[in-house]
Chains A and B, each alone.
Chain A
Amino acid sequence: MPYIVTYEDKEFRVSLKGVAQNLYEVKIEELDGEGNTVSEKTYTVDIVTKDFENFSVICNGNSYEVDVEDKGENNFEVFVNGEHFAFNLMDEFRKKMEEILHGGKERVASGEVRTSMPGKVTRVFVKEGDKVETDTPLLTIEAMKMENEFRAPKSGIVKTVKVKVGDVVNAGALLVVIE
């Protein structure tokens, strides 16, 4: 089953064929919006791993050190010789099912304010029902001695404030919803 990679609004189909122990033939096709192949490349890769996180790859005589972080929900962050790539990867069957179920990737730009870093909520400037403009300071989170201010992404009414002063939040936590 081939895999579909979604990377920076582009889709790629990756087909694997095991040819020997640790040896794969790989085809990478870049797809257009309809799923047609725009271009393709094939590689023969020699790949070994000890821990299923760190991989040593030899391809066309070049040595690559690759680290894979499985972020869950089919999101991956991968380092190749120190270069960073973030993308979504799932097998083609699942990808199709998801598209049928969720009708593609329509996602409305939301008034959800989330934190990309873990930390402690030090101040909250708004409460539910407050009217805010774009860039109105909402709250501050402190981590590793640095305080970061979160501002409103759009103007509207504060629908919910999910945190209070003193809360410790994880990366990705929802802080405030603006409608």
Chain B
Amino acid sequence: MFKKVLIANRSEIAVRIIRACREMGIRTVAIYSDVDRDSLHVRLADEVYHIGPPPAIESYLRIDKIIDVAKKAKVDAIHPGYGFLAENADFARACEEAGIVFIGPPKEAIVAMGSKTEARRVAEKAGVPVTPGALEPLSDEEIFAKAREIGYPVMLKAVAGGGGKGMRLVRNEEEMASSIRMARSEAKSAFGDDSLYIEKYIENPRHVEVQILIDKHGNGIWLGERECSIQRRHQKVIEETPSVIVDEDLRRRMGEAALKVAFASGYYSAGTVEFLVDKNRNFYFLEVNTRLQVEHPVTEMVTGIDIVKEMIRIAANEKLAYKQEDVKINGASMEFRIYAEDPFNNFAPSPGKITALRLPGGPGVRVDLGVIEGAYVPLEYDPIIAKLIVWGKNRIEVIERSKRALSEFVVKGIRTTIPFHRLTLEHPKFISGDIDTNFANILLEEFKARRPSEDLRDMAFVVASIFEEMKELRMVARVTAAYKEGIDPWKFMGRKLQMRSCWF
């Protein structure tokens, strides 16, 4: 087993990996940029190295610098987390050349699965159904032609993409030119590659993914599914397991399909195979995420399997400790992503200083956190600051427990998605499980139209008025205190008031 591991990431996922390493007796090495000195991962790691200025391209994406730190710290392996270099084959190669184990899939599989077009080809060959669309990177003209052929609405997607970046839904030809421009630009800045491809958009599909673990000895298991249908701007916000539309039979068929695709690409490590499921429970292969997923904890909660530890064991050439029949789904779980975004203002980014932080606790509650009170949430990176993961014996208990936990979760100084989650949990459609990837948009419309009860509104007015009065009284108190110090503040105030009346 490894003695020392470098975590080439930041915030909550770096913290998550440090925790797994700690439990395995592995020493941890963290890296940080100028704006992350106060990040939680810096405090929890055993060793920490500064890696560069705030922009990711000059810090967390600098393969050369990270390899230098890894050599200097003499680590055995590097865990890339998610995002940044997690699905970068050059990074996997650089690790290999430096004699350091990359904790993730083989670089050939990253290349094959990282290209969504290649992944689709592999899936088709393995006999797994895919959605209609073009496989190759396309020119603008070809995109227009292909869209006409398969019919609007269509999805534009970055060939190198993931996480909603460089992804655009296009409803008609008028929107196409501007969408292509935005998608290419986002893809370019997120992945350094602006190639796009196009897919038929399946109206209101459900987004269901399967967690897999495969060792280097040809053993593989699936750990059930995660439903990720609550999305906005094609980014997941809430995930849960099990999915309300997946029964025992569908679960097994999707699990087997997921392993088929993975084995066909020579995959090992932890991975996620994403599917779209339509109204009639047909599933279509979407893509393989060759990394640890943000939402992996919900699977951990119901299976009791620590996915990060398994990833590390697989990287260290160990055989899987579990067989398929050992995997039992116990209860249900949901994850709520706490983003530094303002749900009252179209989810605008809300970087800033966290002035107060109070975490929920109690039975069945887990918080994966990346920040500390008093720290500044930088605007350079992904807005995720924490994840709330809740376990319950069934979906109903999870919902009730999540409401309770979210009501305890206090973050001040910045806006977060906590109010959005609370609203979601009250919605009859969410409670009944009748959700699709358009749900968040519908919810937001209702949210805007909704008026909270009058007594809450009145309390807002009352407290703001008292606040204002206290402000004046506190000023008087300060003035009185100044008087005791020997300054004559009343004279000063009098002059100030005179000036004010002149101004009036």
Contacts and interface: CB of A to CB of B under 8 A. Distances in A.
Given A3-B468, A91-B468, A118-B349, A66 B407 contact: no
A59 interface: yes
Task: Name B's interface SS.
Answer: helix
A83 B456 contact: yes
B442 interface: no
B377 to A, nearest CB: 9
Interface stretch (A105-113, A140-148, A153-161): A140-148
Interface string B34-61: 0000000000000000000000000000
Interface in B75-90: none
Contacts of B469: 16
A179 interface: no
B481 interface: no
A145 B165 contact: yes
Contacts of A82: 407, 418-419, 422
A80 B233 CA distance: 28
Interface residues of B, number: 50
Q: Which of A14, A49, A140 neighbours the largest number of chain B CB atoms within 10 Å of its CB?
A: A14
Interface residues of A, number: 57
B465 A84 contact: no
A3 B470 contact: no
B344 interface: yes
A154 to B, nearest CB: 18
Given A85-B457, A147-B189, A149-B182, A118 B351 contact: yes
Given A57-B463, A89-B465, A97-B504, A43 B349 contact: no
Interface string B157-190: 0000000010000000000001001100110011
Contacts of A5: 461, 464-465
A78 interface: yes
A12 B349 contact: no
B466 interface: yes
Interface in B459-484: 459-471, 474
Contact of A137 (B178, B190, B380): B178
Given A89-B468, A117-B349, A144 B463 contact: no
Contacts of A83: 419, 452, 456, 460
B456 A81 contact: yes
B379 interface: yes
A18 to B, nearest CB: 9
A17 B39 CA distance: 46
Contacts of B351: 118, 143-144
B331 interface: no
A67 B462 CA distance: 12
B412 interface: yes
A119 B185 contact: no
A144 to B, nearest CB: 4
B340 interface: yes
A114 B302 CA distance: 46
Given A5-B464, A45-B462, A144 B379 contact: yes
A41 B458 contact: yes
Given A52-B467, A68-B464, 9 more contacts: A26-B465, A52-B471, A54-B356, A59-B462, A87-B461, A87-B464, A117-B348, A123-B185, A143-B351
